[in-house]
């Protein structure tokens, strides 16, 4: 399906509906209207159940902007946004230069603007904040062989280049106004160059966190939360190998677009941890930052989220620290999966040297030389083994087949093939030596990695215990003195 067809199918459905105040009339008074976003238009009615519309606002080709919130003394705060003409266009309508709208809360304003932008810009790759990964990738995969959204690629590449040795990377907030500006550009369908914009490392880190946090669902779907949580909090303590096998199985069932982003992020964050001596960011630190972006229960209750937070952190830290072991699948641009083979199994996949050498039979000779031998010649050749014909056969001028054989000189041809086979055998031996050396190298690295994982596991356990202790103290404080703030 083309981008245009996909968009038309999408915009036939109601995207959003609800009440807003609209400014209009000669005296610019505010009237409450019921709005419906559908089919590329924002239609408004006097009542929710009215069949006759009061008017429609065309969204395609126009723009929506946030108007600074106002609070005039005793008046309630106004969370305003405005729909204005697109570049090169005139008035929005004969009786409206623009459409100024008023939402009840800041969050309501954000939700309306997000829905409007989705209609305005989704067909050109915009409105990506808050959009599910499938819709984002349906557009982006048509622009090239990309497996994750461009914003994720751009941010992680920037951080790898500039932030590996920045202490506390991902902990310090970026510049709010700059983050908002870059976000606007992405939502307008642009792909800004972060270097040219002069973005700093903390702003890019905040932008990446914001994008992942605003996805409609964590990278591990809500329906799989219980399985992952059980493995991290119970199974891993009972039998680590079985727990990892379960994680590999569960990860293979994560939707392809979410899996690709999760794998990309875990590999990227693992690279961050490799510089932890400088940046002070271990897997647990990063797991704490990204936990609800990776996995979370389908419940916004803050008390519940606080209670399960250590488990979410542990799951995220496990995925980051063990990303190479856990992410066994590789998806191509079509979404087809390829299992990544374990390099240490190469020894079991070696082909026998002898199996590369074809047996010397009449059929083999015919295949290699194009010559069909008589049954007598075939018996002689197989008996000699070396491929040489007996004198009687090779000198029999009355035999037409022997004469043809002599003209084609199959013996020399077979001899050359045997030399090539000998050369291949020699190369195979050399390859086996290289494989053996490679195996020894990886075994050594695995020993080192196992030690590192053991150290990190101890660190994780200590950190989780500390978090639980702090949460317990916080709960005691709140019971005694009431909620903070």
How many whole angstroms separate alpha carbon 326 and alpha carbon 240?
12
Q: What is the CATH number of domain 140-331?
A: 1.10.555.10
- In the predicted model, what is the mean pLDDT of residues 151-155? 96
* CA pair distance 169, 448, nearest whole angstrom: 26
pLDDT, residue 14, reads: 79
Distance CA 109, CA 81 (A): 7
Handedness of CA 28, 30, 34, 37 (dihedral sign): positive
How far is residue 207's CA from residue 322's CA, in Å, rounded to a whole number? 25
Poorest-pLDDT segment among 32-36, 61-65, 95-99, 275-279:
95-99
* Span 203-230, average pLDDT: 95
**Which of 349, 376, 350 is CA-nearest to residue 362?**
376
Pairwise pLDDT comparison (56 vs 395), residue with the higher score: 56
Q: State the pLDDT confidence band at 225, using cuts at 50, 70 and 90.
A: very high
Q: How far is CA 228 from the centre of its chain?
A: 18
Question: Over 90: is that where the pLDDT of 160 sits?
Answer: yes
Evaluate whether 233 touches 243 at the Cβ level (below 8 Å): no
Least confident stretch, 85-94, 131-140, 431-440 = 85-94
Average pLDDT over residues 242-258: 94
pLDDT for 136 beyond 80: yes
**Can you say whether the dihedral through the CA atoms of 37, 38, 40, 43 is positive or negative?**
negative
Average pLDDT over every residue of 20-32: 86
Q: Percent of the chain at pLDDT above 70?
A: 74
pLDDT of residue 452: 78
Query: Hey, what are 482's tokens?
Result: 């009431």
Residue 453 has pLDDT above 80, yes or no: no
Distance CA 109, CA 434 (A): 63
pLDDT of residue 331: 79
- The answer to whether the CB of 125 falls within 8 A of the CB of 7 is no
Q: Which residue has the higher pLDDT, 443 or 193?
A: 193
Domain spanning 3-124, CATH architecture:
Roll (2.30)
Query: Encoding tokens for residue 232?
Result: 């991290």
* Residues 6+ positions from 59 with CB-CB distance below 8 Å: 37, 40, 41, 42, 83, 116, 119, 120
Model confidence over 259-270: pLDDT tens digits? 999 999 999 999
Backbone φ and ψ for 353, nearest 5 degrees, come out as: -60, -40
Which position has the higher pLDDT, 334 or 214?
A: 214
Given 3-state DSSP classes, what are the helix, strand and coil percentages for the chain, each rounded to the nearest 5? Answer: 60, 10, 30
């Amino acid at each position: 399906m083309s981008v245009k067809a996909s968009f038309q199918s999408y915009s036939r459905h109601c995207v959003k509906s609800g009440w807003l105040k609209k400014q209009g009339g000669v005296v610019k008074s505010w009237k409450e209207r019921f709005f419906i976003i559908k089919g590329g238009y924002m239609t408004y009615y006097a009542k929710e159940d009215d069949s006759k519309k009061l008017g429609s606002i065309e969204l395609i080709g126009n723009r929506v902007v946030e108007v600074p919130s106002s609070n005039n003394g005793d008046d309630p705060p106004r969370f305003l946004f405005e729909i204005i003409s697109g570049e090169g266009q005139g008035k929005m309508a004969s009786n409206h230069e623009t459409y100024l709208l008023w939402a009840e809360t800041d969050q309501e304003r954000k939700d309306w603007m997000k829905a409007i932008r989705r209609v305005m810009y989704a067909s050109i790759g915009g409105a990506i904040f808050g959009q599910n990964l499938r819709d984002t990738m349906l557009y982006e995969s048509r622009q090239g062989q990309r497996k994750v959204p461009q914003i994720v690629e751009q941010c992680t590449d920037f951080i790898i280049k500039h932030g590996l040795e920045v202490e506390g990377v991902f902990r310090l907030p970026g510049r709010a106004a700059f983050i908002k500006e870059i976000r606007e550009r992405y939502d307008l369908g642009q792909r800004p160059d972060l270097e040219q914009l002069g973005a700093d490392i903390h702003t890019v880190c905040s932008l990446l966190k914001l994008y992942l946090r605003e996805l409609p669902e964590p990278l591990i779907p809500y329906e799989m939360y219980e399985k992952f949580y059980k493995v991290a909090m119970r199974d891993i303590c009972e039998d680590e190998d079985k727990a990892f096998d379960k994680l590999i199985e569960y990860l293979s069932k994560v939707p392809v677009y979410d899996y690709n982003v999760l794998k990309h992020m875990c590999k990227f964050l693992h690279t961050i941890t490799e510089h932890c001596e400088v940046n002070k960011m271990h897997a647990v630190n990063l797991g704490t930052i990204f936990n609800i972006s990776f996995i979370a229960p389908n419940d916004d209750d803050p008390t519940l989220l606080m209670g399960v937070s250590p488990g979410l952190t542990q799951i995220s830290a496990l995925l980051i620290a063990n990303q190479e072991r856990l992410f066994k699948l590789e998806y191509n641009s079509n979404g087809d999966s390829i299992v990544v083979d374990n390099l240490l199994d190469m020894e079991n996949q070696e082909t026998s040297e002898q199996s590369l050498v074809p047996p010397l039979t009449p059929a083999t000779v015919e295949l290699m030389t194009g010559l069909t031998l008589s049954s007598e010649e075939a018996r002689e050749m197989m008996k000699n083994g070396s491929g040489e014909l007996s004198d009687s056969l090779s000198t029999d001028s009355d035999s037409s087949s022997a004469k043809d054989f002599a003209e084609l000189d199959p013996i020399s041809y077979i001899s050359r093939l045997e030399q090539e086979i000998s050369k291949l055998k020699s190369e195979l031996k050399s390859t086996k030596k290289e494989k053996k050396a490679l195996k020894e190298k990886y075994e050594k690295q695995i020993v080192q990695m196992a030690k590192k994982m053991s150290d990190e596991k101890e660190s994780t356990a200590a950190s989780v215990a500390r978090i639980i202790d702090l949460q317990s103290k916080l709960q005691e404080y709140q019971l005694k003195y009431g909620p903070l703030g």
